[in-house]
A and B are shown apart, each in its own frame.
Chain A
Amino acid sequence: MIKDMNWLAVYPELVLLAMACVVAMVDLWVTDPKRTPTYWLTQATLAVVGGMHLLYFDAGFTVYGMQRMMVTDPLGHLLGFFAALAVMITLVYARPYAESREMLKGELFTLSLFSLLGISVMLAANNFLVIYLGLELMSLSLYALTAMRRDHAQSTEAAMKYFVLGALASGFLLYGLSMMYGATGSLDIPKVFNAIATGQLNPTVLALGLVFIVAGLAFKLGAVPFHMWLPDVYHGAPTAVTLLIAGAPKLAAFAMTFRLLVEGLSGVAGDWQQMMMVLAIASMFLGNLAAIAQSNLKRMLAYSTIAQMGFMLLGFTTTVITGNTLSASNGYSSALFYMVTYVFTTLGTFGVVMLLSRQGFESENIDDLKGLAKRNPWYAGVMAIFMFSLAGIPPTVGFYAKLAVLQALITTNVTFYIVVAVLAVLLSLVGAFYYLRLVKVMYFEDPVDTQPIVAASDVRLVLSLNGAAVLVFGILPGGLMALCSQAILKALST
C-alpha cells in the first residue's frame, strides 16, 4: 500500500508540520509576554527548514515523492529557501510591532509556520489538487492572521474582504482545474502536459478551464482587474501581517503560476500568454497611476505591488515566440529574479514602516516619514535604497530585475514586444515619481514628529543587512541571476 512514498522528498515540509504543532503546544506553557521561547523556537525551525532547502538545492537533483504527488527540484528549493528566509525576516521586524499591539501570541508564530507549510506544499506540488491544498492552507492561515486584532474594525473588515474574495478566487481556480480534469482526464501535471501535447482532448473545455485558472492566479498575484482586494487588505491588516502577505506568498504565487501554466499547460502557452500580456499592461497602468494619488503609505505600496507584479508578468509572456528552451528559460528566470528581489525589497520597506510605528501610533501616512533623514540618517538611507530599488535606479538590485525582463522582451525581436518594453519603461518612469516622493519627504522636509526612534538591536541589524543586500546585489547581481536561471533550466528540462 505505502509504496513509492519517498519521504526524503518532503522532509522540509514534515519538519515544518511537526514544528508548527510543537510551537503551538509549547506556547501554552509560555507566560513571558515577549514570547521569547516560542519566538526563538520558530526562528530555529525556519533556519533549519531554510538550510534544508539550501542543501537540497545545492544537491541539484529532481526526485518525486508521495506517489508522484510531490516533486522536489532545484526551483522549488530555491524558492523554499527564500520563502523561509522571508518569513524569518518578517518575524524579526514584526515582533516589536506585534508586542506593542497585544498581538504577540502563540498563534502568530503557529499560523506563520502553517502559511509557510502551505507555501512549501505549493512549491513542491506535482499535482493540481496538491497545489490547491497548499494554496488553501496558506490562505486560511493568512485570513486568520489578518483578523488577529479582533477589536480593530479596520482589520476585521480587511479580513472579511480578504476571505470572501480569496474564497471566490480559490473557487475560480478549482473550477478551472476541474475543467482541466474533464479535458485531459488527469490531475497530475506531467500527465496533463502529455495529454495536451498529444492533442487528444476537447479544446473548448480546455480553453474555458484555462481562463478560470488564469483568473485565479491573477487574483493571487494581485494583477488588474483582480486586484481590488489588495489595497484594502494591505491597508487594513496590521502591518506585521501585511508583511507576511506581501512577502513569502508572492514567491508561492510565482511557483503556482510556473507549475500550472508552464509545467502543466505550456502546450497552450499561446493562449495564456495573451491573457498575461493584458493583465501585465493593465496592472502597470493602474498600479502606477493609482499609486500617485495615495497619501497612505501602505495603500501606496499596495498599488506599487500591483504595478511591480505587472512588470514581473511580462517575463512570462515572451517565451513561446522564440520557441527554444534556452530563450524560454531567459523569460522565466528573469521573472523569477524579479520576484525574489522584489520580495526582499518589500520586506525592508515594510520593516521601516513598522520601525516608525510605536505604542498607540501607526506610521501609515507618507507624511509620517517627514524629516526622517534628520531624525535618523541611517534608517532614512536604508529606506532610500529600497525606494530607488523599487523605482529601478542603478546601482540597486531593482534595476537588474527590470533589465532582465526588458532584455527578455527585446530579444524576442518582435516589434510588438519592443513596443511593450518601451511602454513598460515609460510607466516605470511614472512609478519613479511616487518612489522619489518618499525620498523627498524623508530628505527634503523637516520632521514633525520628534520622538526618538527606538529599535531593538536585532531589528536594526536585520534591517541594515537587508538594505546592504539590496545594494550589494545591485553591484554584483551576477550570482543571484545565475542561480535563478539554473533553477529554471533544470525545471524546464525535466
Chain B
Amino acid sequence: MGLLSLAIWLPIIAGIVLLLVGRDEHANAVRWIALVAAIASFAVTIPLITGFDAGTAAMQFQENLAWIERLNVHYHLGVDGISVWFVLLTAFITIIVVIAAWQVITERVNQYMGAFLILSGIMVGVFSALDGLLFYVFFEATLIPMYIIIGVWGGPRRVYAAFKFFLYTLAGSLLMLIALIFLYFKSGGSFEILTWHKLPLNMNAQTLLFFAFFAAFAVKVPMWPVHTWLPDAHVEAPTGGSVVLAAIMLKLGAYGFLRFSMPIAPDASHAYDWFIIALSLIAVVYIGLVALVQQDMKKLVAYSSIAHMGFATLGFFIFSELGVSGALVQMISHGFVSGAMFLCIGVLYDRVHSREISSYGGVVNTMPKFAAFAVLFAMANCGLPGTGGFVGEWMVILGTVKANFWLGALASTTLVFGAAYTLWMVKRVYFGPVANEDVRALDDINAREFLMLALLAVAVLWMGVYPKPFTDTMHVSVTELLKHVAVSKLN
C-alpha cells in the first residue's frame, strides 16, 4: 500500500471503527483513539514532502490499479507540487479539530470524531485523485459527513444550513459529472485526468466544459454570487466544522480550477478569464464591504473567507507564475489563518455562548494569553508582513499589477478592507474596558487550547518568515501548468 493510500484510508478506517464500537460511556478512550489516528494520519503524509522531488512536474507517489473495468476507471493516485501541500494541510487541520473538540463535544463523541476522520481521508483523496471519476467520488463523498456534522452538532438553524450546503454543492457537482462523462466519451473511453489535459477539443466543447466545471467549483470556492450557502453553513456549524470548511473544503473548489478547468479547457479559460476575474474582484471588494457590517463574528470571518478565496481565483486567471503560486500560498496560509480565527471564536463561544460582537469588549483584560493569539491571527488575516497572510496576497497583487495596473489597484483594496473589518472586530471584542459581567468572569485558555492555537501560530509565522519551501515545491509544477495552458488546443 502506497503512502497516499495510507493517508486516505488510515483516517477513514479509524473513523469507521470509532463509529462502530465507540460509546459515550468511554468517551475519553474515543478521544484518545481519534487523536492517535489523526496524528498517525499526519505522520504518513510527512514523507510525501520530505521525499518530494521539486525538480519535476510529473506526478509523484503514483498508485494505479484497475477499479471499474467496464468503464475503464482506475484507482489512480499521485501528487505534484500543486496538490502535495494540501494533503499535508488536511491531515494537520484534522489534528487541530480533534484537539478543539476535546472538552466541547460531550454527546455522541464517537460519531463526531468518526465523521471528521472520515472526512479528512476523503479530502486527501480529492487532492490526490488522478482519475476523473475517483475525484468525483471523493468530491461528492465529502458532502455526507459534513451534512451530518452541521446538522447534528450545529446551532439553532442547523437544519436549514445543512440542506443549503448539501443541495447547493450537489447542484454544482452534478453538472460536473456530465462534463466528466462527456470527456470520457471524447477521449475514447478514459477517465485519466492527465489524458484529458492533452485531449484536443474545439471551442464549443471547451466552453461547455468550462462552465460545467465552473458550476461545481464556483459553488465550492465559493464565488460571488453563489456564495450564500457559506455564511449560513459557517454560522451554524460547530467550531470543528467551520474550521474544516474554511481551511480545506473551500480549497477543493479552487484546486479544481487548476486541475480541470484551466488545463482541459485552456482556450475557454483564456476567453472567459474576464468573467472569473470580474467575479473575483466583486468578491474581494463587495464581500469585503459586506464583512465590515457584520454583527456576528463567525459571519464576519465567513465573508472574509469568501473575499480571500476571491483572491485565489483572481491569481489563477491572470495566468502568470506569480499569480498562480501566490494564490496557492494564499490558500495554504488562509487554511491556517481562517481555521485559527474560527477556533478563537469557538474559544469565546464555549465560555459565553454568544457570537455577537456586541456581547464582548475588553477580553484582553481577562484573557491576556488568548488575546495575544487572537490578535496575531487577526493581523495575519489582514495580511501583515511577517505572517502567512502577507506572502500570498503580495504575490497575487504583484502579478495582477503586472498584467493590468487597474485590476491590481482594485485587488489591493483588500488590504484596506481586510484591515478594516478585522481590526475593527478586534478592537470591539478584545480591547477597551471590560464590557460586562460575562467578560469579567472569563478564564484564560487552558493548556489544550494553548496547544492548538500555538501550533497554528507557528505555522502562520513560519509561512510569513520563510515561505521558500512552499514556493520551491510548487515552482516547477506551476510553470509546467502555465506552459500547458498557454498552448491552444484549437488547430
Q: List residues of chain A with CB under 8 Å of any chain B CB.
A: 373, 377, 381, 388, 393-395, 399-400, 403-404, 406-407, 410-411, 413, 418, 421-422, 425-426, 428-429, 432-433, 436, 439-440, 443-444, 476-478, 481-482, 485
Contacts and interface: CB of A to CB of B under 8 A. Distances in A.
Interface in B114-137: 133, 136-137
A425 B136 CA distance: 15
Q: Tell which of A432, A433, A482 has the most Cβ of chain B within 10 Å.
A: A432
Interface of B is mostly: helix
B147 A432 contact: no
The 4 A-B residue pairs with the shortest CB-CB distance in the complex, in nearest-first order: A425-B174, A394-B137, A478-B68, A444-B151
Nearest to B140: A394
B9 to A, nearest CB: 11
B141 interface: yes
A478 B70 contact: yes
Nearest to A426: B174
Interface residues of B, number: 37
A449 B137 CA distance: 36
Interface in B139-179: 140-141, 143-144, 147-148, 151-152, 158-159, 162-163, 166-167, 170-171, 174-175, 177-178
Nearest to A481: B70
Contact of A439 (B133, B147, B184, B185): B147
A322 to B, nearest CB: 11
Contact of A410 (B140, B158, B170, B182): B182
A478 B140 contact: no
B163 A433 contact: yes
Interface in B47-73: 66-71, 73
B151 A443 contact: yes
Q: Tell which of A377, A444, A476 has the most Cβ of chain B within 10 Å.
A: A444
B178 A410 contact: yes
A432 B159 contact: no
Given A394-B141, A413-B185, 14 more contacts: A399-B140, A407-B71, A425-B178, A426-B171, A428-B174, A433-B167, A436-B147, A440-B162, A440-B163, A444-B158, A477-B68, A478-B69, A481-B68, A482-B69
Contacts of B174: 425-426, 428-429
Contacts of A418: 178, 182
B70 A410 contact: no
A404 B159 CA distance: 32
Q: Tell which of B136, B143, B178, B184 has the most Cβ of chain A within 10 Å.
A: B178
13 contacts: A393-B143, A394-B137, A399-B137, A404-B71, A411-B185, A418-B178, A425-B174, A432-B166, A436-B147, A436-B166, A440-B162, A443-B151, A478-B73
Contacts of B68: 400, 477-478, 481
A248 to B, nearest CB: 25
B181 interface: yes
A407 B184 contact: yes
Nearest to B134: A394
Given A381-B19, A429-B170, A482 B159 contact: no
Contact of A443 (B19, B73, B148): B148
Contacts, number: 93
Nearest to A474: B137
B177 A406 contact: yes
Contacts of A413: 185
B177 A444 contact: no
Contacts of A377: 108, 111
A443 B153 CA distance: 10
A477 B185 CA distance: 20
Contacts of B182: 410, 418
B152 A444 contact: yes
A395 B137 contact: yes
Contacts of B147: 436, 439
A403 B73 CA distance: 12
Given A393-B141, A406-B181, A481 B167 contact: no
A410 B184 CA distance: 9
Contact of A440 (B66, B159, B184): B159
Contacts of B67: 476, 478
A476 B65 CA distance: 12
Contacts of A425: 174-175, 177-178
Nearest to B184: A407
Interface in B448-478: none
A428 B175 CA distance: 12
A237 B171 CA distance: 36
A436 B146 CA distance: 13
Contacts of A432: 166-167, 170
Nearest to A333: B70
A407 B181 contact: yes
Contacts of A411: 181, 184-185
A394 B170 CA distance: 11
A458 to B, nearest CB: 20
A381 B178 CA distance: 29
A433 B166 CA distance: 9
Contacts of A485: 70
B178 A406 contact: yes
Contacts of A393: 140-141, 143-144, 170
B373 to A, nearest CB: 33
Contacts of A481: 68, 70-71
Interface in B395-453: none
Nearest to A402: B177
Contacts of A373: 152
Contacts of A388: 144
A476 B67 CA distance: 7
